[in-house]
Amino acid sequence: MNPASRPAEDRFEREEHLPEHYITAQASLVERPLRALKQENAFAVLDAYGDMGTEPGRAEGLFYNDTRYLSKFEMRLEGRRPLLLGSAIDDDNAALTVDLTNPDSQAGDVHVHLPRDIIYIVRTKFLWSGACYERIGFRNFDTQKRRFRIDFLFDADFRDLFEVRGAGRPRRGHVSTAETGTDRTGFRYDGLDGVARRSRLVFEPPPGRLEPNRASFVITLEPRQRTSILVRTEFEEGSRKAAPNFLTAFRDVRRQIRATTAGIATIESSNALFNEVICRSTSDLSMLLTNTEDGPYPYAGIPWYSTVFGRDGIITAMMKLWIEPKIAAGVLKYLAQTQATEFDPAADAEPGKILHERRLGEMARTGEVPFRRYYGTVDATPLFVMLAGMYFERTGDKALLQAIWPNIQAALEWCDRFGDRDGDGFLEYFRETEEGLANQGWKDSHDSVFHADGSAADGPIALCEAQAYLFAARRYAATIAAAIGRADESERLSEAAEALRLRFEEQFWCEDLGIYALALDGAKRPCRVVTSNAGHALFAGIASPERAARVADTLMTPDNFTGWGVRTLSRAEKRFNPMSYHNGSIWPHDNALLGCGFGRYGLKAHATRVFEAVFEAAIYQEERRLPELYCGFMRKRHRGPVAYPVACSPQAWAAASPFALLRACLGLELRHARDEIAFINPTLPRFMDAILIRRLRLGESEVNLRLVRHGSDVTVNVLDRRGPARIHVSQ
């Protein structure tokens, strides 16, 4: 994913220009814990109090379609912030609950007329159907009647998400106050794209005083008496349907969550902390799943990437495929529908290319950023074909594969034609305009592809992992072609995959480094640096077994493995920086793909070490939630990993990582064609003695399994089985 986008006219004039895709950071997202809620195309980023916008420079607000519809909402009691007692997102991510009490409140210089800790306040906040709902409950625990004032301060700046991320604009639309009444007030923004966007705040009961940016209530409570205030913030582009009341909306939120997770396989282990991690991951993925016209799609992450990303959606679907195949089906159908069919240099689009990023905000609509539908990624296209093959292997869904077969053919044609313009047999990228992404692999920072001396690699760039993905894509496509009666095409694809494998081994292998080169530059010179990219060659299966073992050993040395996971870049390299986005940090999803690669080649000891490291990093995170990334400092005793200041949390492929790592260690394969659930040399990490998998489905079969670790061995016990599927265990 790209960290941010900046239009050319706004680049800073200084000695060293900021890169074209950059997130400015005046405040760290980990400085004070943030709370995230999401529902469909809306999300909210709140502080621990349930407020937003109390300090400048933070990514707080209520967002819809990449626009911030509410930039400030703060509750005050007698002019002060209440005292925070506790704050947590529900286990299922349905709502934020905040417990508060009153501070000491003075009248005059000395007299305390409202002593602290007598008024209990609980805030419940959630999103549903184009609105943010909040109930603020009050209870008087004093022995006498108490009277106090509550103020809500609010504002709406209607900033595009790219503005919030740091992009400047020479001009923008007009904000005005709208719909002021006894119980409601609002704001309107007339954008440069011709769209009128509105925020409306509705209070129940009506406040005693309502101003454009403030609502004030005077509350009187007898001893033990309770009362509450309801606030609904509606957001709209154009017309909208009427919002339901608080109780109806809250009921519908819970129903949707239950429907989203109904019927999926579940995991329960002997380790209570792992159970918390896996439950949070399940809830996060459920929250990030967004209904599209083609099925569910996992939005990438909050706050910066709450939208469709091709690469992220594909990899998330791959990681969850054994648990929840419907995600893969939704991703495949959506990306097939949005596949490029014509040339558009501004969007880096060419026929057959798979979408990188979709944006719905004003700056995308006006062309100030190129991301309305942006195709500047080299790997989403072969990954799309890989996912199609993996989905077919898992489900046998021939109908879907036949429906998208023209899209698979177009994707492979793009790889052969536009992805390899010099005809050397490798998949390469370069951007069509200066506004696009300079680097177009998963490490798409401006400084992520370079030579051993630290000098930037000139394009076109052939990335290590892109060749591996293309190899796997051709092999999977060959299997699909054979299944739908295209034997000649299947044979041709198999031969092309093998030819690529031989070329890859010859030109990418660095014998003295014990690893594959990061990339080949435009002059076909290898970028001889040690990176985690090489591990993706194992994930995709292009590496020879002997070299796969050497790559794994190299990545697990102290220069690369920190105890919290494998770094993106070795600390021995010139550009190593443990605090960088891609040059030394640690990404859970990257480690999960490495773990899958290690498991593929039978390197289970390496796979379990990675699994243990990522799990132990997770238990140090608030709410047991794996973030997008964390810093690549070496592990130290008695402390957790160092946080990255602007990491997204939750993040879809980070949340999916524990599922992928567990499958890798178990050696689990679900083979629809054989009607077989196979465990190949299963292992369990040291933190787990046993694991229970319920409702694991394959075709018409459903099984409940219990796996138990006995030293280095694992036994598989079938607790219940319905249907004909075989359970096969091999060492």
**CATH assignment at residue 82:** 2.70.98.40
Give pLDDT, residue 2. Answer: 46
Say whether pLDDT at 108 is over 70: no
282 within domain boundaries: no
How many Å apart are CA 96 and CA 89, to the nearest integer? 4
Summarize the confidence of residues 570-583 as an average pLDDT. 97
Give pLDDT, residue 9. Answer: 32
Domain extent for 73: 35-256
Other Cβ atoms less than 10 A from the Cβ of 406: the count is: 11
Give pLDDT, residue 242. Answer: 83
Partners of 80 in the β-ladder: 77
Select from 544, 578, 607 the last residue of a domain: 544
Summarize the confidence of residues 696-710 as an average pLDDT. 96
608 within domain boundaries: no
436 within domain boundaries: yes
729 within domain boundaries: no
Q: Please answer whether residues 123 and 44 qualify as being in contact, where contact means their C-beta atoms are separated by less than 8 angstroms.
A: no
Q: Is 528 exposed, middle or buried (0-12, 13-18, 19+ CB in 10 A)?
A: middle
Confidence of residue 110 (pLDDT cuts 50, 70, 90): low
Summarize the confidence of residues 209-219 as an average pLDDT. 96
Confidence of residue 436 (pLDDT cuts 50, 70, 90): confident
Confidence of residue 262 (pLDDT cuts 50, 70, 90): confident
Summarize the confidence of residues 476-489 as an average pLDDT. 96
616 within domain boundaries: no
How many Å apart are CA 358 and CA 372, to the nearest integer? 5
Give pLDDT, residue 32. Answer: 64
Q: Are residues 384 and 507 in the same domain?
A: yes
Q: Are residues 229 and 371 in the same domain?
A: no
Q: Which residues contact 395 (CB under 8 A, 6 or more apart)?
A: 325, 672, 699
Give the predicted TM-score (pTM) of the model.
0.93
Q: Helices 398-417 and 380-395 sit at what angle, rounded to 10 degrees? A: 160
Q: DSSP of 76-104, one letter per residue?
A: EETTBPPEEEEEEE-TTSS-EEEEEEPPP
Confidence of residue 681 (pLDDT cuts 50, 70, 90): very high
Other Cβ atoms less than 10 A from the Cβ of 572: the count is: 13
**3-class SS of residue 450:** strand
**428-437, 490-499, 511-520, range with the lowest pLDDT:** 428-437
361 within domain boundaries: yes
* Phi, psi for residue 716 in degrees, rounded to 5: -115, 120
Give pLDDT, residue 30. Answer: 54
**CATH assignment at residue 380:** 1.50.10.10
Q: Please answer whether residues 72 and 215 qualify as being in contact, where contact means their C-beta atoms are separated by less than 8 angstroms.
A: no
Summarize the confidence of residues 48-57 as an average pLDDT. 92
Hey, what amino acid is at 199?
A: S
Hey, what amino acid is at 61?
A: G
Average model confidence (pLDDT) for the chain? Answer: 93
β pairing state of 676-680 and 726-730: parallel
Select from 496, 526, 544 the last residue of a domain: 544
- 270-319 tens-digit pLDDT: 999 999 999 999 999 999 999 999 999 999 999 999 999 999 999 999 99
381 within domain boundaries: yes
Give pLDDT, residue 431. Answer: 80
Q: Are residues 96 and 222 in the same domain?
A: yes
- Within its chain, how far is the Cα of 248 from the centroid? 29
Say whether pLDDT at 138 is over 80: yes
- 362-417 tens-digit pLDDT: 999 999 999 999 999 999 999 999 999 999 999 999 999 999 999 999 999 999 99
How many Å apart are CA 457 and CA 477, to the nearest integer? 32
Q: Are residues 118 and 243 in the same domain?
A: yes
Q: Are residues 251 and 348 in the same domain?
A: no
Q: Please answer whether residues 419 and 427 qualify as being in contact, where contact means their C-beta atoms are separated by less than 8 angstroms.
A: yes
Q: Are residues 244 and 364 in the same domain?
A: no
**3-class SS of residue 350:** coil
How many Å apart are CA 318 and CA 657, to the nearest integer? 10
- 3-32 tens-digit pLDDT: 433 333 333 233 344 455 455 554 555 556
How many Å apart are CA 550 and CA 420, to the nearest integer? 29
| CA nearest neighbour of 102 among 55, 135, 141 | 141
Select from 544, 574, 604 the last residue of a domain: 544
Confidence of residue 113 (pLDDT cuts 50, 70, 90): confident
Q: Is 334 exposed, middle or buried (0-12, 13-18, 19+ CB in 10 A)?
A: buried
Give pLDDT, residue 24. Answer: 58
Q: Is 256 exposed, middle or buried (0-12, 13-18, 19+ CB in 10 A)?
A: middle
Hey, what amino acid is at 34?
A: L
691 within domain boundaries: no
Give pLDDT, residue 428. Answer: 97
Element of type H or E holding 275: helix 272-288
**3-class SS of residue 666:** helix
Confidence of residue 238 (pLDDT cuts 50, 70, 90): confident
Give pLDDT, residue 53. Answer: 93
β pairing state of 184-190 and 266-269: unpaired
The total number of structural domains that make up the chain: 2
- 153-206 tens-digit pLDDT: 999 999 999 999 988 899 999 999 987 889 999 999 999 999 999 999 999 999
- Residue given tokens 């894509």 in the structure block: 473
Q: Are residues 79 and 216 in the same domain?
A: yes
β pairing state of 676-680 and 668-671: antiparallel
Give pLDDT, residue 174. Answer: 96
Say whether pLDDT at 643 is over 60: yes
Summarize the confidence of residues 646-670 as an average pLDDT. 97
CA dist 548 to 26, 463, 543, 594, Å?
Answer: 42, 17, 6, 11
- 66-103 tens-digit pLDDT: 999 999 999 999 999 999 999 999 999 999 999 999 99
